[in-house]
Amino acid sequence: MYKKPLIDLQNDKLSITFSGELTLYTIAQLQKELATVKTYIFKELHLNFEQILYLDTAGAIFIYDLEKHFKQKAIVVHLFLKDDIQKSTLALVYKNMRNTGEFKPKEEGFIQSVGHIAYEYYIGFISFLQFFGQLFSTNIHYLTSWKSIRFKEIAFEINESAIKALGIIALTSFLIGLVVAYQSAYQLKIYGANIFIVDMLGLSIFRELAPLITAIVIAGRSGSAFAAQIGAMKITQELDAMKTMGFEPFAFLVLPRIIALVIAMPILIFAADMMAMLGGMIVANIDLHITTQLFIDRFTEVIAAKHFYVGIVKGPFFAFLIASIGIYRGLMVKDDTQSIGFNTTKSVVESIFAVIVCDAVFSILFTNLGI
């Protein structure tokens, strides 16, 4: 039975009188009552347990922790016990607590920590391969019949993940074109090579900048959205509910998002190409006095169509990586909201890294093929 302790503070001496039972079932309430006492300022503490009817080992541990807490603050503590039974119980607990000491986890060595990190990456890699295997097997079954293709969901995802991102991609690409042209114009004017700004802009934007900028914006916008949406559905057990009702989450959630982004990415890259070249054309006109007609004539003369197609071809591969990583990270969310933020962040970082690696592979491949 729990009874509220009596607390009396006089000058520098604090007295706490306990009554009733001091057991496993009452110490939780006592801890709440004494939470404010720990903030008091005093030099001497009297703990009176003479009115305690029953004391078990949990209560004795509570007394030990209480005494230890105040002694660490250089407060003199006096204990007043009822009888020898309480004294023997308390002595037994004190003896075992002092012998046990505080648990200090063993610190990992350098080799052990490296092995632990490597094993985590290995497990993550195996899990990602399993996801890809299930993705491809579902994809093959999904595309065997036109009736199974969910055109409405694909169209919805194209609008959500691509069409709505068109504005930010166009603005970002336009500014990139402005900055690249402006920074290059100063150097070109020194050597009187103003017209070569068209060559530089066409090659750099079509082959590298527009695809990369588009992919990075989509990774930060749509890839993170995929991870957050599916992660939230996993926390609220919507994925489990779908499986219970006989719906395959991969067919209803994963594939429409991937297909939509693969379809839309080349269109977004095309828009990025046009806006970046527009930004470069404006700077060339204002800073280098290259007219629009001269810019277009030089552009059609020196920039082959293959440079445009090189950037467009990268789009579906970038889209597949971004969508796959975002969805995978969404499926890796645990049963807490903190995990959503963690996996959403990782989806963006990993998507951008994968896009850059893929772009480097394409650059090496196209260079060796003479494209």
Task: Report the pLDDT value the prediction gives residue 23, as an integer from 0 to 100.
Answer: 82
Residue 99: which pLDDT band, with cuts at 50, 70 and 90?
low
Task: Report the pLDDT value the prediction gives residue 322, as an integer from 0 to 100.
Answer: 93
| CA atoms of 72 and 343, how far apart (whole Å) | 42
3-state helix/strand/coil string of 319-359: HHHHHHHHHHHHHCCCCCHHHHHHHHHHHHHHHHHHHHHHH
Q: What's the mean pLDDT in 135-142?
A: 72
The residue extents of the domains of the chain are 6-100, 125-369
Instruction: Give pLDDT tens digits for 278-332.
Output: 999 998 888 888 888 998 998 888 888 888 999 999 999 999 999 999 988 888 8
**Of 122, 54, 124, whose CA–CA distance to 85 is shortest?**
54
CATH architecture of the region 6-100: 2-Layer Sandwich (3.30)
Instruction: Give pLDDT tens digits for 321-362.
Output: 999 999 888 888 887 778 888 889 989 999 999 999 999 999
Is a pLDDT exceeding 50 seen at residue 103?
no
| CA atoms of 7 and 14, how far apart (whole Å) | 7
Q: What's the mean pLDDT in 165-183?
A: 91
Is a pLDDT exceeding 90 seen at residue 270?
yes
